[in-house]
Amino acid sequence: MNSIIQTIAVYALPLIFAITLHEAAHGYVARLFGDDTATQLGRVSLNPARHIDPVGTLLVPVVMLLGAKLLGGTGVLFGWAKPVPVDFGRLRRPKQDMLWVALAGPAANLAMALGWAIFLRVYAASGMREYFWFDMGLAGVNVNLVLMAMNLLPILPLDGGRIVFSLLPNRAAWHYSRIEPYGLMIVVLLLATGALGLFLRPLLALGRMVVGWFL
């Protein structure tokens, strides 16, 4: 029981900020490109309370952590925050600017992974031996890399799907957009069958290579 509580404590802060800063980044970049919808609703904020979804940010990740702990595996940590509202029609160049708005979330996760990596390096150099903070740093790196990789999957409505949509010619983009109503079902199916890890592996390897430069 103590081990489970400690695991939740180690992952809580990295997970909450990984998910909420991801969403805030979308709103911030959307504002730069002409859509201030998220700003008007107070969603371009570093306050986690403005982004937390009780199910996606708290319940689902905790259940997955507990399941992995009890079953002795690592699993894929999955979660989400309340999506930041973006009115793509208000962007100055809706289709082109969608690329940067979508990319902002995964980029924020990569930046946070690098931040946690730098924290680990400084902490190790300090000579301190409190493993709770070391484990939290590792959790921060891993959580952010997994969320970055998952959101870069080329499946609408994930960020990777938005990026692909913005890069496709108009007619192809329209046909591609028709899978969006089924996108989350596809992700859940991949997760349930264990195939998700295969698709995440190349993106995780890339992220770990970048983080490795700082470790």
Radius of gyration of the chain (CA): 18
CA atoms within 13 A on the CB side of 56: 13
Q: Which of 14, 20, 23, 164 is the catalytic position?
A: 23
- What stretches of 127-195 show up as alpha helix (H) in DSSP? 131-151, 159-167, 170-177, 183-193
Whether 23 is catalytic: yes
The Cα–Cα gap between 103 and 191 comes to 23
Catalytic residues: 23
